[in-house]
Amino acid sequence: MDNNFLAELLFGDVKTTPDEIFAKYPPRTLPEKAAVTRFAPSPTGFMHIGGLYAALVSMLTAKQSGGVFYLRLEDTDKKREVEHGADEIITSLAKYGVIFDEGAAADGEAEKGNYGPYRQSLRRGIYQTFAKELVRQGLAYPCFCSAEELDEIRAKQEAEKADIGYYGEYAKCRSLTIEQIEQNIKAGREFVLRLKSDGSAENKIICRDIIRGKIEMPENITDVVLLKSDGIPTYHYAHAVDDFLMGTTHVIRGDEWISSYPIHEQLFKVSGFKMPLYAHIAPIMKLDGGENRKRKLSKRKDPEASVSFYANAGFPAESVLEYLMTIANSGYEDWRMKNPDADMSEYKFKLEKMPVSGALFDMDKLASVSKDVIAKMSEERLAKEITLWASVHDEKLSAFITASPEKFAESISLWKYNGKKVRKDIAKWSDLSAMFPYLYSNDEITEYEFDERISDSDRREFLNAYIAAYNHDCDSSQWFADVKTIAEPLGFCPDIKAYKASPDGFKGSVADACAILRAAITGRKNSPDLYSIIQLLGKEETVKRLSKAAK
């Protein structure tokens, strides 16, 4: 077969040579150990938490080695693409501090970097140039098989209990003559371009995965598709061409790609491209029906699979990152314990220490990590973050803040501290309205957690007496003294210890009187300091609530 003739027949309009392309993609000049990594999503408009995780570890690998981290958009599947998918990826990652050194830019903005274009849809000519070269070398051929023909091959293989795929004797179009090919082309028949695999099932290849170590696999024997009938490359071929030209040193990707590694190994080899290193990361999982039934977080089934879920709930970005780091490297938590105030970027991240099997996403753990993160935030920072979040996600809280930023600032101190100690109650901003509706909404309290040991009539009697004698403008010790003075004649022992020693003859102690007030004002059995709450609410609102509870 005259391969040059075939190459011209298939790719007559491709005039560029591989050398011309190589000249545009010189090897990068970086320090010896510098890693070049990339995040290579399909712009489907959905940012999966696993995507953020992969982007984070890819960025750390590059940044900590003085390398380059870039964004490549794998936008060859137009059916899955959404409008502004790239913007969505770039902006949602930026909120988590994932910033690219180079690569695809938001729509309408210029790309950064000399190794682009970084959108695969703009690289068609490049793939075709290398594909044409493979044809010239007799390493690739056109395949005209229709879907029906492929089905037939499959049925035959099933009947013969042979491996499924387009290979060896089953690869019909491998043996087409140049005349047959010419005829097909003239007749306008569509074709895909296939690799002419020289692999043998007996041979083994080895993937030296950074995370998993040595993985032995049979060599690829399939004549995989390189270019689809529209001339657009498959993932496999684009991966080889792009990661080689763009100078990727570490391909960090989901472990669902391990089984395709033999194809990639062969494609790099036949193309004469130096292979990058590979790190296949285990996905983030969840339990589904029973202890041992782990599955990947699913875009369709699990709201928590989406990065936006965390932002909507009001988890600070730092909390999510901090939690992802605990999954990424088990040593992270120890480090954090020893360096409570250090910036995350000071941690020496190690790709080789990533877990081999899928970690379970643990919401409780995220919440606990987040409580620590929030506890460390200054009041100014809290005010800023919460204001921003509430303006999009919590109308009532936002109205409260806008009505009085000062009051809001006071309310932060209220739940942030217990005396001098910093409390750790809040894991996400949506907890605020859930935990302190009595502060942040004007909704009437409809359920009261009153202590049943005190009868309804005793409670009312105390509340009415309290309202009648109520003095709002006093300090906290006077306030407490007043509660005692009002409660004592009604049968509440003013001394808690004395009451505990001999409760007989009392309705309760001053602590019980305070509990009545607390429930009347907040609805709850537990709350931050009641005096401070009252001061925040103001006299009018306090009396209004007491009166309603007394009815």
Q: What residues line the site for ligand GLU (CB under 6 A)?
A: 40-42, 74, 239, 251, 253-254
What is the closest distance, in whole angstroms, from the C-beta atom of residue 55 to ligand GLU in the complex? 10
What is the closest distance, in whole angstroms, from the C-beta atom of residue 54 to ligand GLU in the complex? 7
Nearer to ligand GLU, 251 or 354 (CB): 251
Please state, in angstroms and rounded to a whole number, the distance separating the CA atoms of residues 423 and 375: 7
Please state, in angstroms and rounded to a whole number, the distance separating the CA atoms of residues 246 and 27: 8
What is the closest distance, in whole angstroms, from the C-beta atom of residue 528 to ligand GLU in the complex? 46
Nearer to ligand GLU, 240 or 397 (CB): 240
In eight-state DSSP terms, residue 122 is G
**Cα 21-27-29 angle, rounded to 5 deg:** 145
What is the closest distance, in whole angstroms, from the C-beta atom of residue 44 to ligand GLU in the complex? 9
What is the closest distance, in whole angstroms, from the C-beta atom of residue 251 to ligand GLU in the complex? 6
What is the closest distance, in whole angstroms, from the C-beta atom of residue 255 to ligand GLU in the complex? 11
Token pair listed for 380: 């100014």
Backbone CA torsion sign across 95, 98, 104, 109: positive
Nearer to ligand GLU, 260 or 312 (CB): 260
Token pair listed for 34: 């510098």
Nearer to ligand GLU, 207 or 463 (CB): 207
In eight-state DSSP terms, residue 345 is G
What is the closest distance, in whole angstroms, from the C-beta atom of residue 128 to ligand GLU in the complex? 20
Length of the chain: 551
Nearer to ligand GLU, 42 or 197 (CB): 42
Nearer to ligand GLU, 48 or 459 (CB): 48
3-state DSSP assignment of residue 28 = coil
- Given phi > 0 = left and psi -120 to 50 = alpha, else beta, which region is 142? beta
Nearer to ligand GLU, 38 or 416 (CB): 38
The CA-atom distances, in angstroms, between 399 and each of 64, 107, 201, 528 are 43, 35, 68, 22
The Cβ of residue 405 has, within 10 Å, a number of other Cβ atoms equal to 12
What is the closest distance, in whole angstroms, from the C-beta atom of residue 283 to ligand GLU in the complex? 11
- CA nearest 543: which of 438, 466, 432, 457? 466
Q: Tokens 């060896």 map to which residue?
A: 168
Full 3-state SS string of 359-389: EECCHHHHHHHHHHHHHCCCHHHHHHHHHHH
What is the closest distance, in whole angstroms, from the C-beta atom of residue 58 to ligand GLU in the complex? 9
The torsion angle over the Cα atoms of residues 181, 186, 187 and 193, rounded to 10 degrees, is 50
The Cβ of residue 336 has, within 10 Å, a number of other Cβ atoms equal to 18
Q: Is 475 exposed, middle or buried (0-12, 13-18, 19+ CB in 10 A)?
A: exposed
Please state, in angstroms and rounded to a whole number, the distance separating the CA atoms of residues 325 and 53: 8
In eight-state DSSP terms, residue 48 is B
Nearer to ligand GLU, 74 or 81 (CB): 74
Nearer to ligand GLU, 75 or 322 (CB): 75
Backbone CA torsion sign across 288, 291, 297, 303: positive
Nearer to ligand GLU, 239 or 507 (CB): 239
Q: Treating both helix axes as pointing N-terminal to C-terminal, what angle do 49-63 and 85-94 enclose, rounded to 10 degrees? A: 60
By beta-carbon distance, which residue lies closest to ligand GLU? 253
User: Which strands make up the sheet holding 359-360, listed edge to edge?
Assistant: 294-296, 284-287, 359-360
Nearer to ligand GLU, 171 or 305 (CB): 305
Nearer to ligand GLU, 219 or 255 (CB): 255
What is the closest distance, in whole angstroms, from the C-beta atom of residue 57 to ligand GLU in the complex? 12
Q: Is 338 exposed, middle or buried (0-12, 13-18, 19+ CB in 10 A)?
A: exposed
Specify the amino acid at residue 413.
S
What is the closest distance, in whole angstroms, from the C-beta atom of residue 12 to ligand GLU in the complex? 31
What is the closest distance, in whole angstroms, from the C-beta atom of residue 86 to ligand GLU in the complex? 13
